[in-house]
Structure 1
Amino acid sequence: MGLFGERQAFLEKLSPGDRPALLGLGVRRSYASGEHLATEGDSGGQVLVILAGWCAVLRSTDRGPLLLALRQTGELVGEMAALDGRPRSATVRALGPVQAQAIPGDRFRYFMAARPYVTGLVMAQLTERLRSADDERRSLASATVLERLAACLVELADRTGLAEGGSVTIRLPLSQHEIAAAIGATREAVAKALRLLREQGLVRTGPKSIVVTDLAPLRLLGAAGAAAGETA
């Protein structure tokens, strides 16, 4: 489903000297759960480096918000608007308390210009996100809600899950509504799909948590949706 960025965050890829140099260009800001770090349509004047916490990247549609991605510690948000000067293309919302370093766009551009390898890192990140968006459009066009949900749960389990006694617990603060936004479905459709998975003994659900009791069938189900997209 492509909710996550690369496994090694942008900040981790910087050299030991460039990391503090970049952070020194901005100021520390704190955001409460649900607060916007950036808002779709606003003019993009700054880049934010997430220092702690999780953020959701959302884009408005006729059917409601679509969850494009999840961003965590060390990742950049807001860099596209800072680079092209156009209004922000998405909203970045805090999922729980978030700490971030806010860097003025002109300072970030100067930092990139003085370090060509940093420009390469940013371009590689943008390319990866473009490929992820292409995969998402293909999935929306061909896979069922159940297949898309399975793929989403597998990705969440692989990237954030905690192994506990043969099961994997996902504790990201995502509601059913937000999961629905991530896979381009209605909350009712996701609730129905989750009920089917519960009845098969593949998942257990609780407040702000999902326990995946058997990942293998979910991998097969998610892969079936991806294969349908490739042959459509």
Structure 2
Amino acid sequence: MGLFDSGRPFLQALPGEDRRALLALGVPRAYEPGEAVMREHDATSFVAAILAGWAAVSVETERGVRLILALRGVGEVVGDQAAIDHRPRSATVTALGPLQTVVVPGDRFRAYLAVRPAATVLIMRQFSSRLRASDGERRALASERVLQRLSARLVELAERTGRPVEGEGVVVDLPLPQQDIAAAVGSTREAVAKALRLLRDQGVVRTAPRRFVVCDVELLRLLAEGRA
């Protein structure tokens, strides 16, 4: 279970020559906060390499509820699955804040992989990692309480995007409103608000609009593991 890919981002893991070759195939494109980079079910096949900012990968459930599957940041590529298998988009990718990308047409991306074995291996590893993560996510949704899932998400965000501030804790400034946190947990906004209130009352976290502070990372980690 995880919002983030394990290992180094795709662009950073590429050899320098392969990275420059890929970026040369596309054009720069900036997205405003909340703007969709690609939409679920669309027939487009371009990929977007993220140079700055964060994007959320989400799907709509059968009940019309938005579920955030992952967050993608600098050095990562989104849209590669549709570029490779020629099928409609499996998810929507939305800019969380200002997002800078290089957009590469799908046919160019496929041709690039055909002559760049190192890139192909990295894409295969990425597919495998994301498949394992989705399996873990299904298990978590079936077996874990909202408080446990929320704690796990907050630990991830603190470890991957937070900055330690002396006397405060780990500050996370990622622009995730409470409804997006609920979508990342896979629960209702009301249930997540109740769990957040419990964490605040116990002094584990502090919250503010589009920001939170983890005051006790170790306790939060124990909650995420179901041991507290």
The alpha-carbon deviation at position 5 of structure 1 amounts to 1.3
The alpha-carbon deviation at position 196 of structure 1 amounts to 0.3
2:187 corresponds to: 185
1:172 is aligned with what amino acid? L
User: Structure 2 stretches of 5 or more lacking a match?
Assistant: none
Q: Tell me, in whole angstroms, the C-alpha distance in 2 between the residues paired with 1:30 and 1:157.
A: 26
1:171 is aligned with what amino acid? D
1:135 is aligned with what amino acid? G
Per the alignment, in what secondary structure is the counterpart of residue 96 of structure 1? Answer: coil
Deviation per residue, 1:181-216 (Å, 9 max, x gap): 011100000000000001101110001111010011
Q: Tell me, in whole angstroms, the C-alpha distance in 1 between the residues paired with 2:12 and 2:219.
A: 34
1:43 is aligned with what amino acid? A
1:32 corresponds to: 32
The alpha-carbon deviation at position 45 of structure 1 amounts to 2.0
User: Structure 1 stretches of 5 or more lacking a match?
Assistant: 226-232
Q: Tell me, in whole angstroms, the C-alpha distance in 2 between the residues paired with 1:63 and 1:193.
A: 23
2:117 corresponds to: 116
1:222 corresponds to: 224
Q: Tell me, in whole angstroms, the C-alpha distance in 2 between the residues paired with 1:219 and 1:170.
A: 16
Q: Tell me, in whole angstroms, the C-alpha distance in 2 between the residues paired with 1:198 and 1:14.
A: 42
1:152 corresponds to: 153
1:210 is aligned with what amino acid? F
Moved over 6 A (4+): none
The alpha-carbon deviation at position 6 of structure 1 amounts to 2.6
Count of residues in Structure 1 that have an aligned counterpart in Structure 2: 225
- Superposed, 1:70-219 pairs within 5 Å as 70-166=71-167, 167-219=169-221
How many percent identity over aligned positions? Answer: 56
Q: What's the TM-score, normalizing by structure 1?
A: 0.95
Per the alignment, in what secondary structure is the counterpart of residue 180 of structure 1? Answer: helix
Alpha-carbon RMSD: 1.0
Q: Tell me, in whole angstroms, the C-alpha distance in 2 between the residues paired with 1:101 and 1:115.
A: 19
Q: Tell me, in whole angstroms, the C-alpha distance in 1 between the residues paired with 2:64 and 2:142.
A: 16
